[in-house]
Amino acid sequence: EIVMTQSPATLSVSPGERATLSCRASQSVSSNLAWYQQKPGQAPRLLIYGASTRATGIPARFSGSGSGTEFTLTISSLQSEDFAIYYCQQYNNWPPLTFGGGTKVEIK
């Protein structure tokens, strides 16, 4: 099973600032990585797939990078609606599909 580790667990950022979230895989997942955003009481929403491709309707301030075992989600200028929990998920080796533990982006 591929273990996905996200860091930090919590990121405190001021509106308008850049946020950088990390996701590490226990073995290479190539570029088979997705990012999701989840707000309280809501289902997750797909942001990024293929490590760097934005899903339909996702603003350009969200960008993904990386391959192999190291991945980054960057939010270039945080908006109020971006404060949420972010999860990475690998789909290179399955079953099982595996998620990271999440990074909570909170208002500083």
Partner 1 sequence: EVHLLESGGGLVQPGGSLRLSCAASGFTFSSYSMTWVRQAPGKGLEWVSAISGSGGSTYYADSVKGRFTISRDNSKNTLSLQMNSLRAEDTAVYYCAKDVGSNYLYYFNYWGQGTLVTVSS
Site for partner 1 contains 49 (CB under 8 A): yes
Count of alpha carbons within 13 angstroms of residue 14, beta-carbon side: 2
The stretch among 12-20, 62-70, 76-84, 88-96 that binds partner 1 (CB under 8 A) is 88-96
Residues 55-74 contacting partner 1, CB under 8 A: 55-56
Residues 6 or more apart whose CB falls under 8 angstroms from that of 59 comprise none
Query: Least distance in Å: CB of 2 to partner 1?
Result: 12
DSSP 34-68: EEEEE-TTS--EEEEETTTEEPTT--TTEEEEEET
Under rule CB under 8 A, how many of the chain's residues touch partner 1?
24
Q: Is the peptide bond before 44 cis (omega within 30 degrees of 0)?
A: no
Query: Least distance in Å: CB of 43 to partner 1?
Result: 4
> Which residues of this protein are in contact with partner 1, per CB under 8 A?
32, 34, 36, 38, 42-46, 49, 55-56, 87, 89, 91, 94-102
